[in-house]
Structure 1
Amino acid sequence: MRKLGNQENEVSRLQEQLSAAEVVIVGAGAGLSASAGFDYTGERFSRYFHDFGDKYGFADMYSGGFYPYQTLEEYWAYWSRYIWINRYQNPPKPVYNALSELMQEKKYFVLTTNVDHQFQRAGVDKERLFYTQGDYGLWQCSKPCHNLTYDNEEQVRKMIEAQGFVIDGKGQLTLPQGVRPAMSIPTELVPYCPRCGKPLTMNLRADDTFVEDAGWQTASERYTAFLREAQHQRTLFLELGTGYNTPAIIKYSFWRMVSRRPKAFYACINLGEAYAPAELGAKAVCINGDVGEVLKALADGEHV
């Protein structure tokens, strides 16, 4: 494993490869959303979850998501806030929009382990997307007794409003001054499976109960077909903010395909984890930097 060269030179090389590419395959991980401002700690956590943090002693959204709440009413009070701000609100920074604009003139496909659905919010065609790990906007049976998922926006909105929050015309979540939010939702808003009556849960890959519904299967088939069609074309495999939590999905598969395809090139943009196998040699470029800043530099033709 090696970390590649001078950053300014690497950005220039990536600009050249992007311009020359007939096809771009984007692999997006958590670092892309982090660059867009989806911080799960700090001020953003305090703004929406300080009451839960004060009561239970956790200081980040992930910990709160795994906390063993005593009731489903409290569980969904927490998760409805979590879902809304990370799925239905626009990100603080327009990084996804910048990527979408950069891809407009290209034949491309996006493979992502992110579950915040921000690509479609930025205008990316859903037929060019494969969300491998699920979607904050979908529920499934917790058993599961069947392979269907359920859109949750309307129900989550009701849960949010029942806690005292207000959702404005742009989808932004606010709390009126002086209002102390409820930490539970009315029992009638708790979602249950319409078939077996078990509680619904998030459609997020955590174990073998994850539901790969018809939409997931179709997206997987589209991605496979896209890869097959592009195998003899000049292809840029562009990895953005992907770490080592699930490296086999994007990182390792990209390395393998680039090594086997004569016209393929690998680019990795990642703050602190920009690496590539030494075996890729001149077929790889790695940029250790903020994904959003590098995308802007690519769009502007500048260095970061």
Structure 2
Amino acid sequence: MSSPDIVKVLSYLVQESENTSLERYTAAALESSEVYTQLQLLKYMLTVRSPDPPLPTEINQDINRILFHRSHNKLFTSRHSIKEKLRFADLSPKLSIWKGDITTISDVTAIVNAANSALLGCFQPSHRCIDNIIHAAAGPDLRRACYNLVEQRDFTQEPVGSAQITPGFNLPAKMVIHTVGPSLLPGSEPNQEEISQLAACYTSSLAKLEEQEEDGNDKSIVFCCISTGLFSFPNDIASNIAIESVRNYFSEHPHSSISEVIFNVFTETNLKLYRQNFAEYQEREILVPIEQPIFETHHPIIEVSKKLIQDTDYLIVSAGAGLSASVGLDYSSNEVFDKHYRNFKKYGPTRLYETIGHQWPSKLVEWSFWFHHYETVSRWPASESYQKLVRMLNCATNSFVITSNADGFFIKNGYDPKKVYSIQGNYYWIQCPIKCTQDSFRPMDAELQKVKPYIDLSTNLLMDSSHIPRCENCGHIMTMCLRGGWKFNDTPMETEKKKYKELLNKIVRENQKAVLLEFGVGLNTPSVLRWPNEELASENENNFTLIRVGNGPSSTVPIEYIEKENFIVIDADASEVIDLLVS
């Protein structure tokens, strides 16, 4: 079967929309777009699209294949793995609290969607409401199923407190229950009618699930925090209503086929509230703990990846900015800059990314920044994630690292520097800006030690311009040894560069197996790691398997590769995946 044709899908949706602002998305423009851009446009088009007319079968099938792949690249959480389960003292169903993305919980009969009264999902792409999140993950068939429900009824607005049910489509949950909660003015307190309406959302959802044959007497349901988002119901009152409504339902239905209720929260505020409520119920002996068998969570994509890593001849870790960001050195973070570089904010940058190519007011300020940055990175604490990754590399039969990060974190955390190719350069070196000779570079650390007595610790500024490093051969003011054009001197990395190229040639020549384990490689410099990794795996399917780990752009591969066995995507934080791979 050929791969899904996302260009054909998007061309159809753009043309169908008759939206003149989208005319720039010609087939040629879509073809040349990065896959992340294509997926963002697909999400936008499906969010704003009416469920009628139905999508053509071929277009709909391709959309579902793409969305199924996106959904199942995430790390699912089985309900069986949730710890600290309780039950009401006089009732059997289990209760628990779980903080996470409701579209990733598995082994459940149904999740509950806080819908609007039209019951067709949210049509505003920028909304981060639960309605939008669930519809985006489930796909267009969910909106069509809701539309069919709407068409069957005699009223135009779904009553507040009622519930409807549909299949889950591309979600791990088998079904979605849609309920409309009461909407309050921001900051207002609910009246008795609104309290009753919210309680009805919970009891109606349970009753609707009870009617289903799915999962027999072991039905399970996951409730989101209904009405507490855009509908402005106070969180503390809502959490009490949720628990009490569930208790009342099971008191009235002692022989219910529902065996488990999970309260899903997304914020720390709601997590704290539910935990407080559970604790109070336990103190009053209304809730009692349940002894749970130990359940080991198995993520299929993690298990597949582990097996590939264990069986491979070569493990090559390919690391981008997302890996260091996962351990705190996040170049896109305003907080990191505020904490470590506040003295340099007055010169314009507010994030580390903005210092790349920045025009500083003088060479004195520029070198003051680089000395401070080098010292900050050098003092960055050793990372448990990097250390685990290094242990994994050292356990492999053969291993190597290629990284676009200049921070030297692999070496800091104990990996052999002779097996690390820093393709974009390294903060450890400074070089002549005109590369007057191939050997016109020297260690940054020695330079810093010389100028330390002349740095004002209160401002982080070098106090005397005579201490700005200059080339010993031509006298030019030195620059960092970082890739930025033809003047970049990669001589300090030349040995590791040759080793890496020889390694790739050997793997193909001797028909060996290699895993390219890629972390946090996004779209800032895709030609450095991202595209070469894709090319290696696509042109040498029998030799290279690409395992791409990250969030956002770092969790996408071109659509033509999504169903290939040697392309695996894990849409999750790098540190979490490393923990799972070494566990």
- TM-score interval, normalised by the smaller of the two chains: 0.7 to 0.9
- Which residue, out of 225, 228, 234, partners 2:502? 225
Q: Which residue of 2 aligns with 1:27?
A: 318
- Which residue, out of 251, 254, 276, partners 2:557? 276
Counterparts in 2 of 1:96 and 1:161: CA distance versus 1, 3 Å: farther
Tell me whether 279-288 or 266-275 shows the greater mean CA deviation: 279-288
**1:265 Cα shift?**
1.6
Q: Which residue of 2 aligns with 1:61?
A: 352
Rg larger in 1 or in 2? 2
**1:246 Cα shift?**
2.2
Q: Which residue of 1 aligns with 2:387?
A: 97
2:475 and 2:407 mapped to 1: Cα distance?
27
2:528 and 2:365 mapped to 1: Cα distance?
34
Q: Sequence identity of aligned pairs in percent?
A: 24
Q: Which runs of 5+ in 1 are unaligned?
A: 166-179
Q: Which residue of 2 aligns with 1:183?
A: 461
Matching of residue 49 in structure 1 with residue 49 in structure 2: no
**1:226 Cα shift?**
1.0
Give the AA of the match of 1:204: L
2:350 and 2:542 mapped to 1: Cα distance?
48
2:496 and 2:399 mapped to 1: Cα distance?
14
- Counterpart of 1:75 in 2: which secondary structure? helix
Counterparts in 2 of 1:56 and 1:256: CA distance versus 1, 3 Å: closer
Q: Which residue of 1 aligns with 2:578?
A: 295
Q: Which runs of 5+ in 2 are unaligned?
A: 1-34, 36-65, 76-298
- Which residue, out of 9, 13, 18, partners 2:309? 18
Give the AA of the match of 2:300: N
Give the AA of the match of 2:466: E
**1:164 Cα shift?**
4.1
- Which residue, out of 404, 410, 425, partners 1:134? 425
1:146-180 alpha-carbon deviations (Å, 9 max, x no partner): 12221011222444553344xxxxxxxxxxxxxx3
* 2:438–2:489 CA contact under 8 A, matched in 1: yes
- Counterpart of 2:552 in 1: which secondary structure? coil
Give the AA of the match of 1:249: V
1:64 and 1:285 mapped to 2: Cα distance?
34
* 1:61–1:82 CA contact under 8 A, matched in 2: no
**1:113 Cα shift?**
1.0
- Counterpart of 1:137 in 2: which secondary structure? strand
* 1:115–1:131 CA contact under 8 A, matched in 2: yes
Give the AA of the match of 1:186: D
- Which residue, out of 240, 253, 257, partners 2:519? 240
CA RMSD of aligned residues (A): 2.1
**1:93 Cα shift?**
3.6
**1:181 Cα shift?**
2.6
Q: TM-score, length-normalised on structure 1? A: 0.85
Q: Which residue of 2 aligns with 1:168?
A: none
**1:65 Cα shift?**
5.1
Higher relative contact order (CA 8 A, sep 6+): 1
* 1:75–1:184 CA contact under 8 A, matched in 2: no
* 1:65–1:78 CA contact under 8 A, matched in 2: no
Matching of residue 265 in structure 1 with residue 538 in structure 2: no
* 1:236–1:266 CA contact under 8 A, matched in 2: yes
* 1:24–1:235 CA contact under 8 A, matched in 2: yes
Matching of residue 156 in structure 1 with residue 454 in structure 2: no
* 1:235–1:263 CA contact under 8 A, matched in 2: yes
Give the AA of the match of 2:335: E
- Counterpart of 1:79 in 2: which secondary structure? helix
Q: Which residue of 1 aligns with 2:46?
A: none
* 1:109–1:128 CA contact under 8 A, matched in 2: yes
1:290 and 1:197 mapped to 2: Cα distance?
45
- Counterpart of 1:219 in 2: which secondary structure? helix
Give the AA of the match of 1:265: T
Counterparts in 2 of 1:63 and 1:247: CA distance versus 1, 3 Å: closer
Q: TM-score, length-normalised on structure 2? A: 0.46
Taking the TM superposition and a 5 Å limit, the aligned residue runs for 1:68-79 are: 68-79=359-370
- Counterpart of 2:532 in 1: which secondary structure? helix
Counterparts in 2 of 1:256 and 1:158: CA distance versus 1, 3 Å: same
* 1:203–1:211 CA contact under 8 A, matched in 2: yes
1:71 and 1:197 mapped to 2: Cα distance?
17
Matching of residue 109 in structure 1 with residue 392 in structure 2: no
**1:261 Cα shift?**
3.7
* 2:390–2:414 CA contact under 8 A, matched in 1: yes
- Counterpart of 2:337 in 1: which secondary structure? helix
* 1:38–1:91 CA contact under 8 A, matched in 2: no
Tell me whether 231-240 or 65-74 shows the greater mean CA deviation: 65-74
- Counterpart of 2:427 in 1: which secondary structure? strand
Q: Which residue of 1 aligns with 2:490?
A: 212
**1:97 Cα shift?**
1.4
2:387 and 2:454 mapped to 1: Cα distance?
32
- Counterpart of 1:281 in 2: which secondary structure? coil
Give the AA of the match of 1:266: L
**1:74 Cα shift?**
1.9
Counterparts in 2 of 1:92 and 1:60: CA distance versus 1, 3 Å: farther
* 2:549–2:569 CA contact under 8 A, matched in 1: yes
